[in-house]
């Protein structure tokens, strides 16, 4: 079942077509029912704020669009958002509040994998449907969650061989020191090996690290052909500045699975970001009509919005997938919505067609390879209908619907 934002809006408008008085539109269209509450847990402050702000704005835009078209199931939608402040304790606290006190119909939230794993058990326990709209390391297998961001098989598998082809076979890997960085580093090593290369060293850094001087010295001594980076957040942006200050920019190329998620191309000087390679499920610079329309609406709503990355687009697409699941189920019953979503729903969004995979609750989506030029991404290649093959190797919710864990995929 393939849907588009336009078809959702048209069907929602049709449901409200019997309204006779524009003056009574809002009240009469929804009757006496309370609004459908949509939960949001995203960082609006702290090191990941530049990532979290466009994600919340994307939810806000989608909800405004549906409400303008008559709502969902004849009811308006209301966003209940908590600023998690890049703090795992806040995630845990607010997750319970959304599930128990606010009793939201669904939660869209989490940025880091650590935040996801802090809140996922809460939503499982209280039966609150959860959408994680962030690229991550793969392996989550839980019928109560839908993961709409890319996984390594969709992006890292494209990025590493391309970067090797331009630079050479010996790489130095630097990554954030938690499950995303640790597992992504394993995937980088696998794809290096598959292409005849090797990782000379792998260094991990806590999210609060800002001094990369010792590491830069180690990289200079190792003399790799390439740096592969899975550094995360605003603090880790310091690496790119210090790399340039050390006179290394242009000597050893950098390919990253995370560069740009906190708006690095525009916040760094051009000389610091130029030439960095990245692969994601979406870039703001995509010129398709759906992408251009989405970007224009977001920037009209929030003129000072940071860069609109995959995480923002996947949040927008995740919301509309959920909305269509609600429509198909005809109710807010969690299991009815899950079963509707498992029926093969697709959404034509800013990144192209996004399709839910029943077995993994992940999505098949387009992937794109790009390079920073003049502080913007220049898209080099597109990979249509990339599948989450990594997670598919360990997760089958059709055969094992009660599975509930994150697998560390044997690489």
Question: Is 371 inside any structural domain?
Answer: no
- Tell me the pLDDT tens digit for each residue of 281-309: 999 999 999 999 999 999 999 999 989 99
CA 98, distance to chain mean position in Å, is 21
d(CA 67, CA 38) in angstroms, rounded, equals 13
| Whether residue 150 has pLDDT greater than 50 | yes
8 A C-beta contact, residue 72 and residue 36: yes
Are 309 and 284 in contact, with CB atoms under 8 Å apart?
A: yes
Which of these three, 280, 299, 331, is where a domain ends? Answer: 280
SS (HEC) of the chain: CEEEHHHHHHHHHHHCCCCCCHHHHHHHHHCCCCCEEEEEEECCCCCCHHHHHHHHHHHHHHHHHHHHCCCECCECEEEEEEECCCCHHHHHHHHHHHHHHHCCCEEEECCCHHHHHHHHHHHHHHCCEEEECCCCCCCEEECCEEECCCCCCCCHHHHHHHHHHHHCCEEEEEEECCHHHHHHHHHHHHHHHHCCCEEEEEEEECCCCCCCHHHHHHHHHHCCCEEEEECCHHHHCHHHHHHHHCCCCCCCCEEECCCCCCCHHHHCCHHHHCCCEEEECCCCCCCCHHHHHHHHHHHHHCCCCCCCCHHHHHHHHHHHHHHHHHHHHCCCCHHHHHHHHCCCCEEEECCEEEEECCCCCCEEEEEEEEEEECCEEEEEEEEEEECCHHHHCCCCCCCCCCCEEECCCCC
The reply to whether 270 and 342 lie within a common domain is no
Does the pLDDT at position 19 exceed 60? no
Q: Are residues 294 and 390 part of one domain? A: yes
Which domain covers residue 214, as residue numbers? 156-280
How many whole angstroms separate alpha carbon 392 and alpha carbon 337?
22
344: region left, alpha or beta (phi > 0 left; psi from -120 to 50 alpha):
left
pLDDT at 261: 87
Q: Within this chain, do residues 11 and 51 fall inside the same structural domain, yes or no?
A: yes
Mean pLDDT for the chain overall:
92
pLDDT band at 47, cuts 50/70/90? confident
Q: Does one domain contain both 143 and 213?
A: no
Section 89-109 average pLDDT: 98
Whether residue 111 is contained in a domain is answered as: yes
- pTM, whole model, 2 decimals? 0.89
Q: Which of 256, 280, 304 is the C-terminal boundary of a domain?
A: 280
Give, in order, the Cα–Cα distances in Å from 176 to each of 46, 150, 207, 256, 275.
16, 18, 6, 12, 22
Q: How far is CA 396 from the centre of its chain?
A: 22
Is 303 in the same domain as 351?
A: yes
Nearest to residue 363, comparing CAs of 383, 345, 378? 345
Examine residue 372 and state whether it is found in any structural domain, yes or no: no
The pLDDT confidence band at residue 263, using thresholds 50, 70 and 90, is confident
Say if residues 260 and 273 touch (Cβ distance below 8 Å): no
Query: Residue 388 and residue 151: Cα distance in Å, rounded?
Result: 6
Higher-confidence residue of 11 and 88: namely 88
Co-location of 128 and 222 in the same domain: no
Whether 377 is in a domain gets the answer no
- Is residue 192 in some structural domain? yes
What pLDDT score does 149 carry?
Answer: 98
Give yes or no: residues 96 and 34 share one domain.
yes
CA 350 to chain centre: 13
Give the total number of structural domains in the chain.
Answer: 2
Rg (CA), the chain: 21
Closest CA to 40 of 113, 121, 115, 140: 115
Regarding whether 328 and 196 lie in a shared domain, the answer is no
**% of the chain exceeding 90 in pLDDT:** 86
**Rounded to an integer, what distance in angstroms lies between the CA atom of residue 226 and that of residue 243?**
13
Q: Can you tell me the distance from the alpha carbon of 347 to that of 284, in angstroms, rounded to the nearest whole number?
A: 18
Same domain, 79 and 194: no
pLDDT in the model for residue 23: 30
Last residue of a domain, one of 238, 264, 280: 280
* 290 and 275, same domain (yes or no): no
* 129 belongs to a structural domain: yes
Regarding whether 190 and 147 lie in a shared domain, the answer is no
Segment 32-43 mean pLDDT:
91
The pLDDT of residue 296: 98
- For the domain that residue 268 is a member of, what is the CATH number? 3.40.50.2300
């Amino acid at each position: 079942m393939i849907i588009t934002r336009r078809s959702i809006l048209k069907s929602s408008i049709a449901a409200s077509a019997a309204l006779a008085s524009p003056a009574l539109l809002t009240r009469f269209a929804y009757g006496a029912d309370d609004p459908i509450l949509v939960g949001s847990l995203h960082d609006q402050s702290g090191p990941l704020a530049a990532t979290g702000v466009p994600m919340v704005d994307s939810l806000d835009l989608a909800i405004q669009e549906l409400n303008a078209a008559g709502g969902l199931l004849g009811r308006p939608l209301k966003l209940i958002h908590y600023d998690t402040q890049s703090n795992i304790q806040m995630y845990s606290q607010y997750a319970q509040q959304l599930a128990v006190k606010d009793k939201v119909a669904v939660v869209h939230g989490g940025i880091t994998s650590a935040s996801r794993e802090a809140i996922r058990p809460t939503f499982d326990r209280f039966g609150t449907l959860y959408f994680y709209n962030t690229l991550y390391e793969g392996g989550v297998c839980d019928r109560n969650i839908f993961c709409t961001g890319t996984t390594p098989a969709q992006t890292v598998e494209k990025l590493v061989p391309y970067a090797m082809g331009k630079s050479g076979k010996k790489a130095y890997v630097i990554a954030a020191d938690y499950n995303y960085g640790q597992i992504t580093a394993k995937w980088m090593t696998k794809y290096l090996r598959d292409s005849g290369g090797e990782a000379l060293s792998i260094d991990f850094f806590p999210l609060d690290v800002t001094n990369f001087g010792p590491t830069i010295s180690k990289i200079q001594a190792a003399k790799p052909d390439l740096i592969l980076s899975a550094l995360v957040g605003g603090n880790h942006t310091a690496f790119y500045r210090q790399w340039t200050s050390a006179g290394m920019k242009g000597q050893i190329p950098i390919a990253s699975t995370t560069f740009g998620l906190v708006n690095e191309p525009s916040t760094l000087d051009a000389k610091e970001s130029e030439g960095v390679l990245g692969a994601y499920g979406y870039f703001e610079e995509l010129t398709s009509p759906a992408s251009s329309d989405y970007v224009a609406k977001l920037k009209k709503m929030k003129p000072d919005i940071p860069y609109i990355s995959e995480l923002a687009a996947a949040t927008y697409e995740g919301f509309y997938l959920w909305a269509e699941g609600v429509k198909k189920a005809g109710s807010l019953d969690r299991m009815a919505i899950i079963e509707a979503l498992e029926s093969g729903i697709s959404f034509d969004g800013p990144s192209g067609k996004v399709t839910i995979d029943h077995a993994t609750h992940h999505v098949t989506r387009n992937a794109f390879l790009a390079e920073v030029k003049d502080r913007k991404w220049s898209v080099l290649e597109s990979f249509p209908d990339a599948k989450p093959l990594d997670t598919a190797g360990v997760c089958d919710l059709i055969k094992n619907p009660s599975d509930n864990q994150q697998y560390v995929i044997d690489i």
